[in-house]
Amino acid sequence: MLTEPADGEEPAFSQSINLFRRGQTVFPGGVTRATVDKDPNPIYMSRGEGAYLVDVDEARLLDLNNNFTTLLHGHGYEPILEAVSSLLSTGTCFSNPTKHEIALAELLTSRIPSVERIRFVNTGTEAVMFAIKAARAFTGRSAIARFAGAYHGAYDWAEAGQNGFEAAPDGRRIARLGYQGAPSAVANDVLVLDFNDADALEEALTVNAERLAAVLIDPMPSRAGLIEPAREFIDRLMTVADRHGILVIADEVLNLRQSFSGASARYGLTPDLLVAGKIIGGGFPIGAVGGSAKVMAVFGGDTRSPMVSQGGTFSANPVSMVAGRIAMEAATPAVFDRLEQQGVRLRAQLTATARKHNAPFSVTGAASLLRLHPKSEPPRSFAAAVQRPDELARMRFLCRFLRREGVLLPHDAAACLSTPMTDMDLDHVADAFDKFLTQHSFASQEAQP
């Protein structure tokens, strides 16, 4: 059902409403991916310009989503446009390899310490799937452990546990499956753990060692709260996994953007396999699974047939390879430093603003990533990050307000910066948040919008 804009104050999005009406006649739910924000209706974009989006009603919005953190350099980054434009006339996909895939692979293996060999695919979902298959083939075990609430894409075993678990009468945790009808056997092979709980992790890995192929970890899971890992937790994970021959898979599809060498390097994690995506495609579809030469040999050695067959019609297509290389070449240590400083500053501004108004909002994140929570204290666990209906309503209310102030903020996932953003752009975000809290009093934690 189409929801008309609430409060009667948003005639500006009228072209989007018309398009949504058309979308509803051809797409289930009116859109083509579950993650599209439909509150109060999807906003259809006409174009992107650097740090900004322009919607079909010509409203300009500072883009703090950047296609779910993909666009490190924002929209229409000139060097990528030039390189891709000149490539297009030479062909966009072949069944043969090209030099472009080697160039991007060389760049990534030289930067990311745990990646000696790499394979390219088209999405993060696919890359996580192949990493899990690789760990299974390497260890001869089928189960994986993962952390409650973390998003790892749509492979059944990666999806189970994304929404937590059910407690069985005997206290065991049964991973919640992604959809009704998902094979119940999937739950048997997915252990759901709590992020940053080192003792419980050690116990679960020890008890289940013989059946565990891997621990799948996003170093700062966005949907589980965008909470940084504790050093002790990372150390224990590596020690215990190593003791039992369990591989560690770091899912850095989102968090590779934390530093020049990614997130694992930042937090002292040395995974056996690392999954990347988003920023390494420069705005084009991509995923990658990399790791030690020893483990990656499951995808192919010189003499024997691969233990895991990894194909993909569009894998390593030259457009994604070239765009990714240009994007990553431009992402120098100095660029990451600047993004980091801007992230630190914006998070501090937003936190100070919430405190000044004694308002139930808090901030988590690191580097160029942040999440605003409709909660007085920054959550320290997935359970604490889950939004109650009144909190969700407050967050949606804020996002709508910010949109009217020209800022696009995701309401339940990581927001992020891009290199074309100026300090003035970010000050505007903080000012708009201040204006929101000035106009709407939330001094009492129980206040409703």
Q: Which residues bind ligand PMP (CB under 6 A)?
A: 68, 123-125, 128, 151-153, 218, 222, 251, 253-254, 277, 287
Read off the tokens for 36.
């599209």
What crossing angle do the helices spanning 78-88 and 318-330 adopt, rounded to 10°? 160
DSSP-derived letter for residue 50 is B
CA–CA distance from 419 to each of 69, 122, 257, 327 (Å)?
12, 24, 12, 11
Radius of gyration of the chain measured on its C-alpha atoms: 22
Closer to ligand PMP at the Cβ: 44 or 130? 130
| Least distance (Å) between residue 105 CB and ligand PMP | 18
Q: Minimum distance from CB of 277 to ligand PMP (Å)?
A: 5
Alpha carbon distances (Å) from 401 to 61, 221, 397, 406? 12, 26, 6, 9
CA pair distance 119, 295, nearest whole angstrom: 12
- Distance, in Å, from the CA atom of 38 to the CA atom of 172, rounded to the nearest integer, reads 36
**Structure tokens given for 388:** 């109650």
Report the nearest approach of ligand PMP to the CB of residue 184 (Å). Answer: 24
Nearest approach in angstroms of CB 253 to ligand PMP is 4
Least gap, CB of 298 to ligand PMP (angstroms): 20
Q: Toward ligand PMP, which CB reaches closer, 41 or 222?
A: 222
| Strand duo 60-63 + 407-408: pairing | parallel
Minimum CB distance to ligand PMP, residue 323 (Å)? 15
Which residue is closest to ligand PMP by CB? 124
For residue 436, the minimal CB distance to ligand PMP (Å) is 27
Compare residues 44 and 68 and give the one whose CB is closer to ligand PMP.
68
Looking at beta carbons only, is 17 or 408 nearer to ligand PMP? 408
Q: Label residue 245 left, alpha or beta by phi (over 0 means left) and psi (-120 to 50 means alpha).
A: left
3-state secondary structure 71-101: CCCCECCHHHHHHHHHHHCCCCCCCCCCHHH
User: Smaller CB distance to ligand PMP: residue 100 or 278?
Assistant: 278
- Helix, strand, coil percentages in the chain from 3-state DSSP, rounded to 5: 45, 15, 40
Q: Which is nearer to ligand PMP, 371 or 400 (CB)?
A: 371
Distance separating alpha carbons of residues 12 and 17, to the nearest angstrom: 10
* Shortest reach from residue 396's CB to ligand PMP, in Å: 20
Strand spans (E) along 235-293 = 247-251, 273-277, 287-291
In angstroms, give the least distance from the CB of 367 to ligand PMP.
Answer: 15
Nearer CB in complex with ligand PMP: 279/437: 279
Task: Give the residue with the Cβ less far from ligand PMP, 10 or 251.
Answer: 251
DSSP-derived letter for residue 209 is: G
Hey, what are 320's tokens? 């994604």
Nearer to ligand PMP, 287 or 291 (CB): 287
